[in-house]
Amino acid sequence: MKKLLSLFVLTGVFFLNTGLIHAQDETVSDEVFQEEVVEEAVMSNETAMVEQEPAQRGFTQELKNRFIEGGPGFMGIVLACLIFGLAIAIERIIFLNLATTNTQKLTDDVEAALKSGGTEAAKEVCRNTSGPVASIFYQGLDRAGEGVESAEKAVVAYGGVQMGQLEKNVSWISLFIALAPMLGFMGTVIGMIQAFDKIQAAGDMQPSLVAGGIKVALLTTVFGLIVAIILQIFYNYIISKIDSIVNDMEDASITLIDILVAHKK
């Protein structure tokens, strides 16, 4: 009986130790599994960051890299067209914005000055106002003493002078708009000629011989078109601004002549 009881006790102790060992093994396995999951997550995050890094460079960085790949030859000339074109466009935009005046307010002030102080008071108002409309008003008022017809001729003549100042250097922008893509196409043609020269020298049509040259040739065309598009946007804005100012000048000139006729009466 004692032997049988001892056997049961030993059996129970054996199964108890086995269960504890199995539980410890499961705990260790769970910890190892969790560590592996964490490592895989970290590695996947690092891989995703590496994959996203080229995408995060942005359009500007990609454009700069492509520009460098195009070579300094024709790319430098195309870049010079962009720089000079933008410089002229910015100067014209600043000038035209400063030349824009409140025509209605100026007309009312000139009319009030004519009624209260005569021609000299109206001329003083024009001197204190900037813009081509005020300059045209001043020239018309300066010739008002010689008659309305003389004032009208002075307004028309000086209006042409002011229009020429508004359109100054705008033709250079149109030149750069036409020149940039033409230079790009020239670079493409020269690059293709060089690629065919390599094929002729090698005596074999291998894509690796001409791929680099063709890519560089096409990049010059792309950048030439980009420069032309940018300058075309500025050019259209400048032309629309000039048209708006010219319309104001013509309308204000007619109003001035009417004011002078009424003042003479």
Domain final residue pick, 56, 76, 99: 56
Same domain flag for 7 and 90: no
Contact between residue 158 and residue 248 where contact means Cβ atoms under 8 Å apart:
no
Same domain flag for 85 and 183: yes
Same domain flag for 68 and 51: no
Q: At what angle do helices 72-99 and 148-166 cross, to 10 degrees?
A: 150
Q: What is the pLDDT of residues 200-231, one digit of tens each?
A: 777 766 666 666 667 777 788 888 899 999 99
Q: How confident is the model at residue 199 (pLDDT cuts 50, 70, 90)?
A: confident
Residue by residue, what is the 3-state secondary structure of 141-158?
HHCHHHCHHHHHHHHHHH
Greater confidence (48 vs 186) lies with: 186
CA atoms in the 13 A half-sphere facing the CB of 262: 11
Section 113-127 average pLDDT: 84
Q: Distance (Å, rounded) from C-alpha 139 to C-alpha 130?
A: 14
Same domain flag for 21 and 114: no
pLDDT number for residue 176 = 93
Same domain flag for 137 and 123: yes
Q: What is the pLDDT of residues 130-148, one digit of tens each?
A: 888 888 888 888 887 777 7
Same domain flag for 258 and 193: yes
Q: Distance (Å, rounded) from C-alpha 107 to C-alpha 130?
A: 13
Handedness of CA 146, 150, 151, 154 (dihedral sign): negative
Same domain flag for 194 and 159: yes
pLDDT over 80 (residue 68): no
Q: Distance (Å, rounded) from C-alpha 45 to C-alpha 24?
A: 32
Same domain flag for 29 and 142: no
Domain final residue pick, 56, 72, 99: 56
The per-residue pLDDT of the chain, averaged, comes to 74
pLDDT over 60 (residue 165): yes
Same domain flag for 200 and 222: yes
Q: Distance (Å, rounded) from C-alpha 43 to C-alpha 65?
A: 29
CA atoms in the 13 A half-sphere facing the CB of 94: 6
Same domain flag for 29 and 109: no
Domain final residue pick, 35, 56, 77: 56
pLDDT number for residue 265 = 65
**Backbone torsions φ then ψ of 71, nearest 5 degrees:** 90, 155
pLDDT number for residue 27 = 45
pLDDT over 60 (residue 85): yes
Is pTM beyond 0.85? Reply is: no
Q: What share of the chain is helix, strand, coil (3-state, %, to 5)?
A: 90, 0, 10
Q: What is the pLDDT of residues 24-42, one digit of tens each?
A: 444 434 444 445 444 554 4
Count structural domains, the chain: 2
Q: How confident is the model at residue 52 (pLDDT cuts 50, 70, 90)?
A: very low
Same domain flag for 26 and 94: no
Domain housing 147: 62-265
Handedness of CA 14, 18, 24, 25 (dihedral sign): positive
Same domain flag for 44 and 157: no
Please choose, from the candidates 83, 68, 96, the residue with its C-alpha nearest in 3D space to the C-alpha of residue 231.
83
